[in-house]
Amino acid sequence: MRTSIFMSLALFGMITASAQSPEEKGLEIAEAAEEADLGFGSSIVDLKMTLKNKNGQSSERFLTNRTLELTEDGDKSLIVFNSPKDVKGTATLTFTHKVGSDDQWLYLPSIKRVKRISSNNKSGPFVGSEFAYEDLSSQEVEKYTYKFLDQKGSLLLVEQDPVDPKSGYTRRIVTYNKDKGYRIEKIEFYDRKNALLKTLTYSDYKLYKNKFWRADTFNMVNHQSNKETLLKFSGYNFGVDLSDDDFSQVALQRAGK
């Protein structure tokens, strides 16, 4: 009798697993990725941004990104440009929300003013780069609906459709690496006409605190404009003590001065 019960349970598990829908499996993968990255607390990292136009000409910018992890809602981030002179002091503050539109503000040192970024403008380019303002938001599970597409070895392909009707994308195809903490290897972005717009590739990963994977290189290629933005991260610091006060509009203005 014990053998037959265990066999029945195993068979039930196999049937349940095979009955899982692509939507359920896609959501499960996204939740696993979120769970794998929980607990980093806060971080500061320096970046070099290289902008390349369609003719291959390039320019460089240097910036700092601060992030505060929140569990009850989305994360907060503050990005400050340190050089060159024409963008120095420009700063962006993002409050990601699990439900509803994110809150974003831009500080422009030339006019010494904080400008709120309208939800209608989230698909616009971030300070001339191939990243949109909505790309700055943290990866919150609630911001998308999901559909598992394919598995290629350890790589899992999941379609993510934005819940926000004002998103500049109809969908994203995200490639997760299940053997490396469900870290993201690549994202393909499709525009409002459902044409491939951009591809973001993550590389040069490093493991911090034996848990948190961070890519040292982000490469965003715009297939429609033939432009490219390369981000090189260096000096990740997870030991900083950041609080909500470091992510206020006052802090935004102070960071840009």
* Distances 60 to 11, 63, 87, 201, 207 between C-alpha atoms, Å: 58, 10, 11, 19, 27
Q: Per CATH, the architecture of 22-255 is what? A: Clam (2.50)
Instruction: Say whether pLDDT at 39 is over 80.
Output: yes
pTM assigned to the model: 0.90
Confidence label for 25 from pLDDT (cuts 50, 70 and 90):
very high
Taking the C-alpha atoms of residue 98 and residue 162, their distance in angstroms, rounded to an integer, is 12
Please state the separation of Cα 170 from the chain's center in Å: 16
Taking the C-alpha atoms of residue 53 and residue 229, their distance in angstroms, rounded to an integer, is 9
What pLDDT does 5 receive?
Answer: 55
Instruction: Say whether pLDDT at 171 is over 50.
Output: yes
Q: In this predicted model, what pLDDT tens digit does every residue of 85-107 receive, in sequence order?
A: 999 999 999 999 999 999 999 99
Confidence label for 4 from pLDDT (cuts 50, 70 and 90):
low
Q: In this predicted model, what pLDDT tens digit does every residue of 189-229 receive, in sequence order?
A: 999 999 999 999 999 999 999 999 999 999 999 999 999 99
